[in-house]
Amino acid sequence: MCGRLAQIRAEQKYLASLAIQGQLLLPPSPDPINRYNVAPHSRVGLLRKVAQGYLWAPERWRWLPAWAEKPVRNDFNATREKVGSSPYYREVWPHRALLCVDGWYEWCSVAGQKTKQPYYIRRHDSEPLFLPAIGQFSEPGNEPKPDDGFRIITADSEGGMLDVHDRRPVVFDPENARAWMTDISSEEASRMLHEQALPVDAFHWYAVGREVGNYRNEGAGLIEPLTLPST
């Protein structure tokens, strides 16, 4: 699962790393975003393709189909095993987007402790992470509808990351992230989620302070490594 993110660097820097080819509807901001504790159901900068080009705009990190009769425990992630084939996602599957971030957090159970230990996960090379997403969006220039929003797509964890959590977001490199945003077929989009995600060994993870568990806390201190007692 992925339930907390860090979107830190400037929009301009994310887009420079992505090297997107096409018209941007709005000039990218050069100012750092500096959000170290992005929680589900908040609005977060999302890149998507529209008729006029590409748009970076704040969108709600959650989505439910209009016909859903009751809330679900997780309305902000979609599994790659189901997202391309389940009727649940049929109306939003064609609406692909990218969430550009610096890292994400997971919580791990600790023997003998009631409180889980948070970990921060980023790329080894500290490059941006491009997370594929799907969602429902309003036309550029219109106010978002109450049920607009998106989900990021997750996969099974592998290797040592299993010690932290059994799910992780799918992450693309810039080349595959650009391809995700083009008019590829549904079959090709599904194939990419399974075959083009960055492997676990592309990432580095370490324990951080429990302050990140409160979504009201912010600041660079949230991603500082925490020295755990030896066992």
The per-residue pLDDT for 66 is 85
Nearest alpha carbon to residue 100 among 31, 175, 39, 177: 177
For 132, the token pair is 């594929």
For 143, the token pair is 């106010």
What whole-number percentage of the chain has pLDDT above 90? 73
User: What is Dmax (Cα atoms) for the chain?
Assistant: 57
The per-residue pLDDT for 71 is 72
Q: What is the pLDDT of residues 200-210, one digit of tens each?
A: 999 999 999 99
CA dihedral 131, 132, 137, 140 (to 10 degrees): 70
**CB 165, CB 83: distance < 8 Å:** no
The overall pTM is greater than 0.75 = yes
Whether 2 is a known active-site residue: answer yes
Q: Measuring CA to CA, how many Å separate 18 from each of 44, 100, 117, 180?
A: 18, 9, 32, 12
Q: Is the pLDDT of residue 1 over 80?
A: no
Q: Three-state SS for 107?
A: strand
CATH topology of domain 5-102+130-197: hypothetical protein yedk fold (3.90.1680)
Q: What is the pLDDT of residues 152-201, one digit of tens each?
A: 999 886 644 444 446 789 999 999 999 999 989 999 999 999 999 999 99
Q: What is the pLDDT of residues 38-87, one digit of tens each?
A: 999 999 999 999 988 999 999 999 999 988 877 777 899 999 999 999 99
The per-residue pLDDT for 112 is 82
Paired sense of beta strands 53-60 and 203-207, if any: unpaired
The per-residue pLDDT for 166 is 63
Of 2, 11, 59, 100, which is the active-site residue?
2
What average pLDDT does this structure show over 98-121?
92
Of 100, 106, 139, 143, which is the active-site residue?
106
Whether 211 is a known active-site residue: answer no
